[in-house]
Amino acid sequence: MKKITEFEKLVYAATKKIPRGRVSTYQEIARAIGKPKSARAVGNALGKNPFAPKVPCHRVVKSTGEVGGFLNGTFEKMKLLKKEGVLNLGGRVVSLDHKLYVFR
């Protein structure tokens, strides 16, 4: 197994906090770990997530609400989100309470 960087550890720890039925964004995770300009790097780290589904990277979407990438394809990502109660509205995702998960 490839060594996990400190940055990736931070990303995975933050992502693990997103509850079932909620979504967050790459940008929000970047802010939560103190690296607000690292949204793309967050996406790259999640793209090689070795801890799925324990680290639920499928719950992370683009700031626009679009699904974003997923190792098994966006269709599979949408299936997982739908199973958790996240809605697909015209190609965008919305959590059950229509709110983005914000880290505290």
Global confidence as pTM: 0.87
Q: How far apart are CA 34 and CA 69, in angstroms?
A: 23
pLDDT attached to residue 55: 96
pLDDT digits (tens, 9 = 90+) for 13-72: 999 999 998 899 999 999 999 999 999 999 999 999 999 999 999 999 998 888 888 888
Would you kindly state where each structural domain of the chain is located, as residue ranges?
A: 6-94
Q: How far apart are CA 47 and CA 58, in angstroms?
A: 10
Q: Tokens 């940055």 map to which residue?
A: 7
Q: How far apart are CA 46 and CA 79, in angstroms?
A: 18
Active site residue 57: yes
Q: How far apart are CA 12 and CA 8, in angstroms?
A: 6
Does the structural domain 6-94 have CATH classification 1.10.10.10? Answer: yes
Catalytic residue among 30, 57, 60, 67: 57
Q: Would you say residue 91 has pLDDT above 80?
A: no
